[in-house]
Amino acid sequence: KAGVTQTPRYLIKTRGQQVTLSCSPISGHRSVSWYQQTPGQGLQFLFEYFSETQRNKGNFPGRFSGRQFSNSRSEMNVSTLELGDSALYLCASSPGPSSTDTQYFGPGTRLTVL
């Protein structure tokens, strides 16, 4: 089975722009979660989607949003980019939304905001 894929792998944007990141989960997985990883704050949960519905949301401003499509693929969007948004954005998929379902991570998208 193919793993979680994320595109693009690298992005460079300037302050004020917006960006859309894409995630394709493992085949058959219906839950997709997004995380932000930075050297200062570590790994932080952004949001989780299951059956096209956002189930959980972390403590991030409204500039961060996401969606999930009927084929379980997911996108996240960051509007009005700030320098502090520079990070590795990780997508993780799991079979379902249970707390004991294992989350499998993709390689991430490295976003640099100049």
Partner 1 sequence: QQQVKQSPQSLIVQKGGISIINCAYENTAFDYFPWYQQFPGKGPALLIAIRPDVSEKKEGRFTISFNKSAKQFSLHIMDSQPGDSATYFCAVKTGANNLFFGTGTRLTVIP
Residue numbers at the binding site for partner 1 (CB under 8 A): 4, 31, 33, 35, 42-45, 48, 50, 55-56, 58, 90, 92, 94, 96-108
> How many angstroms separate the CA atoms of 56 and 46, rounded?
8
CB of 10 to partner 1, least distance (A): 11
Compare residues 17 and 58 and give the one whose CB is closer to partner 1.
58
Compare residues 16 and 61 and give the one whose CB is closer to partner 1.
61
> How far is CA 47 from each of CA 2, 14, 74, rounded to the nearest angstrom?
23, 24, 11
CB of 76 to partner 1, least distance (A): 14
Compare residues 78 and 93 and give the one whose CB is closer to partner 1.
93
CB burial of 25-48 (b: ≥16 within 10 Å; e: otherwise) equals bbeebbbbbbbbeeeeeeeeebbb
Contact at 8 Å (CB) between 1 and 104? no
CB of 38 to partner 1, least distance (A): 12
